[in-house]
A and B are shown apart, each in its own frame.
Chain A
């Protein structure tokens, strides 16, 4: 140091009690302000080279230079603190007013202001409550940025080819993961060894996540298609790396789907909110990462079997259907044969028909030829016909004559005199009989008529007008003898005949009108007529 010339005095000053009583005023070395300040600085810095100080942050300020100034205090004292820019950027927590922290650093003095302060190298939250408070604040901020959104979560590959694991290379976690992967589905695993606890952990974990994402598809190291960030269980402080904002951001930025598996089921760290899938344990992460290969083999085999059966059945059905259709279709040979047979039949029928036709035509021709008589023959035939006609003419005449004769003879036989005689005899007898009958009947009839006539005559006799005349009545007749029964018919001067019982007398009609009365005189004469005519009046 440049203040070497002042080295001795501090040595002395270290033990002031030695000479204080003795070397009182005169022996006391004299320090300049700077000397004493420097001496103090050396003493403070060497004595408090590295200390942990717990206190509450008060008035934290970040200067334009990037250094952070703050005051640590408790109920009685205050201690100024400074965090140089480089350290301030690497602080795991950002100092906030009222935050209870434990700072690690060294004490130093600031001679220019007669001050001492702590140069903070690291800072951590004091107490779980404070840590949780900080975590909540971070969560709120990241959530507000949308880093927890479900829409950000990418689906995991069904069957990852390469899995990148970010974890400690030693310890149970990586072993658990590898064992479970082997059990389920052997796969290519790349382990990126990191510290999972302590100051350097957050940088290493973040770098590992980013490093895996930086791998190219064709590089010497294969790029994983799935990441697992894992750590075993521990206290909140132990797991704090995974609550670091830097780690959470790296996980959120990862293009490769990422499974977080930090601590045990009940532990939830910040990275769990931004990862694509949170596994409750590292072992569970392996289960989420890969399916069970045996199951897949079984599934593939089952599908193969079903595929085979389905197509076999389909073919069988098609075959059956085809057979059915073929049955309906009939044997083609049979079809051809039957057709051939039909052709044969038709052919033979045509042949026969032709033959028959030819034959018939031949016959017809022959017939025609036969009928085609020569003129000589025709003449001869005409001659024959003439002859035959002549003959038949003769024969016909004879036949007819004979028939007439025969008919005549027959009629002759029927014309018998015997028959006629008998008819005459019968007729005579009948006439005789009828004559007798007629006689008898006529006689009887005449007798009857005679009898009736006489009877009538008697009646007539009894009723004759002449008998009336006997009783005094006169019949008046005109010149012609016609009875005059009406007075009107008797004209005056007319000559009439009057018949009496015993003879006639002529008379002349006297008058016309008056004559009536005298004429009426005879009427009373009728009275006597009526008396004797009892029983005979009905005749009039």
Chain B
């Protein structure tokens, strides 16, 4: 949510887009494309952006790995280390 408003122009901003924002934009593009609105150039540009967004979403989903850590609680101050968590 916080990295939601990455902007919708250009291609470099996609990297900073959150998954949900990217997916929503992709769905918006698909919907507009399916309605056949806009010029052909726009449609192709939209497709390219849609493909990049899909790539981005895919990457985010592929990155999902389970990693469980346990905070080592210090006597004072902020925790500075973690250790593996065995359940």
Task: Determine the chain A residues whose CB is within 8 A of the CB of B54 once the complex forms.
Answer: 300, 303-304, 307
CA distance A187 to B43 in the complex (A): 36
Do residues B80 and A155 form an inter-chain contact, with CB atoms below 8 A?
Answer: no
A303 to B58, CA, bound (A): 12
Q: Which residue of B lies closest to A215 (CB)?
A: B78
Interface centre among B34, B36, B71 (most CB of A within 10 A): B71
Cβ-defined contact, B61 with A297, below 8 A:
yes
Residues of A within 8 A of B81 (CB): 220-221
Q: Name the interface residues of A175-189: CB closer than 8 Å to any CB of B.
A: 175, 178, 181-182, 185-189
- When C-beta atoms are compared, the residue in chain B nearest to A297 turns out to be B61
| Interface pair B20/A190, CB less than 8 Å apart | no
Neighbouring B residues of A178 by C-beta, 8 Å: 66, 68, 87
Task: Indicate if B79 sits at the interface (CB-CB under 8 A).
Answer: yes
A306 touching B67 in the complex, CB below 8 Å, given contacts A211-B79, A311-B44:
no
| Interface contact B23-A169, CB-CB below 8 Å | no
Contact indicator B19/A158 (Cβ below 8 Å): yes
**Are the C-beta atoms of A311 and B60 separated by less than 8 Å?**
no
Instruction: State in angstroms the CA–CA spacing of A193 and B18 once bound together.
Output: 30
Q: How far is the CA of A315 from the CA of B85 in the complex (A)?
A: 54
A191 touches B71 (CB 8 A): yes
Contact call A221/B82, Cβ cutoff below 8 A? yes
Are B23 and A307 interface neighbours, CB within 8 A?
no
The winner among A182, A185, A216, A306 for most chain B CB atoms within 10 A is A306
In the complex, residue of chain B having the shortest beta-carbon distance to the beta carbon of A163: B68
The smallest C-beta distance from B56 to any residue of chain A, in angstroms, reads 10
CB of B27 within 8 Å of the partner chain: yes
Let me know if A143 is at the binding interface, CB within 8 A: no
Within 8 Å by CB of A155, from B1, B29, B33, B65, lies B1
Docked-complex contact A310 and B78, CB < 8 angstroms: no
Q: What residue of chain A has the Cβ atom nearest to residue B69's Cβ?
A: A190
Known A-B contacts A303-B54, A311-B44; the reply to A221 vs B36 at CB < 8 A is no
Partner of B85, one of A169, A219, A317: A169
A225: Cβ under 8 A from any B Cβ:
yes
State whether the Cβ of B9 lies closer than 8 Å to any Cβ in chain A: no
**Which residues of A sit under 8 angstroms from B36, Cβ to Cβ?**
310, 314, 317
Write the A195-227 contact mask toward B (1 if CB under 8 angstroms, else 0): 000000000000000010011100111000100
Within 8 A of B (CB), among A146-184: 155-159, 169, 174-175, 178, 181-182
A318 part of interface (Cβ distance < 8 Å): yes
Cβ contact within 8 Å between A307 and B30: yes
Q: Are B79 and A296 in contact (CB under 8 A)?
A: no
- Contacting A at CB under 8 A, from B26-69, are 26-27, 29-30, 33-34, 36, 40, 43-44, 46-47, 50-51, 54, 57-58, 60-61, 64-69
A225 partner residues in chain B, CB cutoff 8 A: 2
Interface residues of B (CB under 8 A from A): 1-2, 18-20, 23, 26-27, 29-30, 33-34, 36, 40, 43-44, 46-47, 50-51, 54, 57-58, 60-61, 64-71, 73, 78-82, 85, 87
Q: Given A192-B79, A221-B80, A314-B36, list of 12 further CB < 8 A pairs?
A: A157-B2, A174-B87, A186-B64, A214-B78, A216-B78, A219-B78, A221-B82, A296-B19, A297-B58, A300-B54, A308-B47, A311-B50
Residue pairs across A and B with Cβ atoms less than 8 A apart, 13 shown, are A158-B18, A189-B68, A190-B70, A192-B71, A192-B73, A221-B79, A221-B80, A221-B82, A297-B58, A297-B61, A299-B23, A311-B33, A311-B46
